[in-house]
Amino acid sequence: MKKTLLRLLLLLSVFILAVGCSSKIHDENVNKGIGDFKNANFASEKLLRSHYIKHVVKQKEFGNITMDEYLEGARKLINSKPGGDILTKTRSNGDILFYNKSTNEFAVVTKDGVIRTYFKPKEGIKYFNKQ
């Protein structure tokens, strides 16, 4: 009985510590925006290239920009502080969604700072709201 109670107490302590730590991280992120994604990248050069070709070269969403400029645009959006034109949502898996109402830019970044996508949705804010 004592061992069971001690195990339960230990599990409860670990849970409380974990929740307390995540709250602290959340509070810090709120103060400086969502996160520090200044050096965020796509998961691979191949993924960056495929997104660049799709959204810049083929669909011409961003005009005539380089792949580096495309990446910098994504980084700028995901480092924007929420409020005003910048809308954000967090998915249950931790992915953070960003939408700029004035430029119609949309991006998704993982909680670990990996850019999943960056583009200008045809449906504008309706696309963001459906996410």
Report percent pLDDT > 90 for the chain. 69
In the chain, how many domains are there?
A: 2
In angstroms, the CA 49 to CA 62 distance is 15
Exposed, middle or buried, 96 (CB in 10 Å: 0-12/13-18/19+)? buried
Three-class SS of residue 119? strand
pTM, rounded to two decimals = 0.73
- State residue 72's pLDDT score: 97
Check whether residue 76 and residue 110 sit in a common domain. yes
pLDDT tens figures, 101-119? 999 999 999 999 999 999 9
Residue pair 96/88 in contact by the 8 Å Cβ criterion: yes
The number of residues in the chain equals 131
Check whether residue 76 and residue 117 sit in a common domain. yes
- Domain hosting 82: range is 35-130
Mean pLDDT to the nearest integer, 86-113:
96
